[in-house]
């Protein structure tokens, strides 16, 4: 039963004249890098010989995922059954060596799934080299949540919550790990929400360079103020270098009410799906702007027009989603983007489109197409494109 984790092995005697290159750890390590996204092959490698086990397991256990949501990847060690979760828990709880391999943990705690109890046990273990965690919950599991978000080596935190109340979260959330650098929040709060005092938990705020907000939903203005204030309470945004604002997250409110006036002076990467008119001249260090054309194009045209000719912005990406622009919208965007390019021919203009839309969109931007200005990024899903853009930004920071 332990074979699926590579925790047992079968050793075979090598032939007398067998090459010994793969017994050299550096060569073995390079060979296994190519199998990093193939759990089945890594399992096989971990069973070859004792000299292969540790190196293979360092890739196999690097990112563990327990539970499943629709759309989850399968390139990591993914545990979906109670039986395998129990085996994993026994292996990790009894081996600090295995826990040292783990850099990322993803957990899904939804509904009354029998696997939830074991997931909580695994989440409460100590992971000495944990750098990244993704948490999906439809209610608060205090012990596991605190163990993961307060981990002293944590750098990247993704939290998706679907809650009927903030109770249970108020005492934990402000105590996020001081080592955090990248934070992604997707919060849906529903039901009669009691607005509890989260400011009572006081500690130095964590300076983070990258923040991604998506689907922070609320019912009225008082709840909106509370939700945003609570979500951002642990963090110092004065040196924010990358900001992504997704659907249903109000950039206008965030910009006007919650962020300090100088918060965006350091911003280098800005991604917006919720349209709000921004004066780009107030962002002197902005290098890349990405806008999703999901709302009337006039806002984007005005925003592009606010970019001074001498501005340092290098790349403008347009992501085409469900919104169907009018012919006037296309003409206005075509002219605004071309003017931006004419002022600085070194600027890069990228259109992110689903493959089947490329001919139509290309024909709708005749001036950009005629000048061979456009670069294309084709994808099958705008959500995948959002995630890929953010991953590339995080890799740069």
**pLDDT 10s digits, 227-279:** 777 888 899 888 889 999 876 666 656 666 666 666 678 899 999 876 667 78
Rg of the chain over Cα atoms, rounded to whole angstroms, equals 24
* Beta carbons of 158 and 133 less than 8 angstroms apart: yes
Q: Average pLDDT in the 205-212 region?
A: 93
Residue 9, pLDDT > 80, answer: no
Q: Average pLDDT in the 176-201 region?
A: 79
Which pLDDT belongs to residue 117? 93
CB atoms within 10 A of CB 25: 12
In three-state form (DSSP H/G/I as H, E/B as E, the rest C), the secondary structure along 186-234 is EEEECCCCCCCCCCCCCCCCEECCEEEEEEEECCCHHHHHHHHHHHHCC
Tokens representing residue 151 in the block? 């981990």
**Sign of the C-alpha dihedral, residues 181, 228, 305, 388?**
positive
Q: Average pLDDT in the 97-110 region?
A: 92
In this prediction, residue 380 has a pLDDT band, given cuts at 50, 70 and 90, of confident
How far is residue 230's CA from residue 220's CA, in Å, rounded to a whole number? 15
**Which of 206, 138, 129, 196 lies closest to 175 in space, CA to CA?**
206
Which pLDDT belongs to residue 18? 45
pTM given for the model: 0.85
How far is residue 294's CA from residue 228's CA, in Å, rounded to a whole number? 23
How far are the Cα atoms of 76, 143, 258, 276, 396 from residue 127, in angstroms, in the given order? 17, 15, 34, 41, 25
Looking at per-residue pLDDT, the higher value among 269 and 190 belongs to 269
Residue 91, pLDDT > 70, answer: yes
In this prediction, residue 177 has a pLDDT band, given cuts at 50, 70 and 90, of very high
pLDDT tens, residue by residue, 36-57: 677 777 777 777 777 777 778 8
Q: Is 152 exposed, middle or buried (0-12, 13-18, 19+ CB in 10 A)?
A: exposed
Looking at per-residue pLDDT, the higher value among 31 and 89 belongs to 89
How far is residue 245's CA from residue 138's CA, in Å, rounded to a whole number? 22
In this prediction, residue 128 has a pLDDT band, given cuts at 50, 70 and 90, of very high
Q: Which residues of 352-365 are buried (b: 16+ CB within 10 A; e: fewer)?
A: bbeeeeeeebeebb
pLDDT tens, residue by residue, 282-329: 889 999 999 887 666 788 888 888 898 889 899 999 988 655 677 888
CA 89 to chain centre: 26
Q: Average pLDDT in the 365-371 region?
A: 91
Most confident of 9-13, 74-78, 273-277, 296-300: 296-300
Q: Average pLDDT in the 385-397 region?
A: 89
In this prediction, residue 354 has a pLDDT band, given cuts at 50, 70 and 90, of confident
How far is residue 272's CA from residue 249's CA, in Å, rounded to a whole number? 10
Residue 179, pLDDT > 80, answer: yes
Looking at per-residue pLDDT, the higher value among 295 and 341 belongs to 341
* 39-46 helix and 50-60 helix, angle to the nearest 10 degrees: 160
Residue 373, pLDDT > 80, answer: yes
């Amino acid at each position: 039963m332990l074979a699926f984790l590579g925790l047992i092995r079968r050793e075979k005697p090598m032939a007398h004249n067998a090459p010994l290159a793969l017994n050299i750890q550096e060569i073995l390590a390079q060979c296994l890098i190519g199998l990093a996204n193939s759990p089945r092959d890594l399992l096989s490698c971990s069973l070859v010989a004792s000299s292969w086990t540790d190196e293979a397991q360092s890739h196999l256990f690097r990112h563990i995922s327990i539970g499943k949501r629709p759309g989850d990847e399968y390139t990591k060690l993914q545990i979906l059954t109670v039986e395998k979760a129990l085996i994993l828990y026994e292996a990790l709880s009894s081996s600090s060596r295995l826990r040292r391999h783990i850099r990322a943990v993803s957990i899904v705690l939804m509904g009354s799934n029998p696997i939830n109890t074991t997931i909580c046990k695994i989440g409460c273990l100590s992971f000495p080299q944990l750098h990244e965690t993704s948490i999906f919950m439809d209610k608060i599991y205090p012990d596991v949540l605190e163990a993961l978000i307060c981990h002293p080596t944590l750098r990247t935190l993704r939290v998706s919550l679907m809650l009927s109340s903030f109770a249970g979260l108020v005492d934990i959330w402000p105590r996020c790990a001081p080592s955090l650098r990248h934070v992604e929040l997707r919060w849906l709060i529903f039901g009669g929400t009691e607005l509890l005092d989260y400011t009572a938990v006081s500690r130095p705020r964590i300076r983070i360079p990258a923040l991604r907000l998506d689907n922070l939903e609320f019912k009225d203005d008082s709840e909106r103020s509370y939700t945003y204030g609570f979500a951002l309470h642990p963090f110092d945004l004065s040196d924010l270098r990358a900001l992504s604002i997704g659907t249903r997250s109000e950039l206008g409110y965030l910009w006007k009410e919650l962020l300090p006036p100088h918060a965006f002076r350091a911003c280098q990467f800005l991604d917006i799906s919720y349209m709000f008119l921004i004066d780009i001249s107030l962002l002197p260090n902005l290098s890349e702007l990405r806008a999703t054309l999901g709302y009337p194009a006039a806002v984007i045209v005005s925003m592009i027009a606010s970019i001074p000719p001498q501005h340092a912005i290098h790349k403008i990406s347009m992501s085409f989603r469900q919104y169907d622009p009018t012919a006037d919208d296309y003409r206005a965007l075509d002219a605004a983007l071309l003017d931006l390019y004419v002022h600085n021919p070194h600027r890069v203009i990228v259109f992110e489109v689903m493959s089947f839309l490329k001919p139509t969109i290309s024909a709708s931007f005749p001036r950009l197409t005629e000048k061979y200005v456009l670069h294309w990024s084709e994808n099958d899903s705008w959500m995948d494109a959002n995630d890929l853009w953010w991953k590339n930004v995080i890799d740069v920071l």
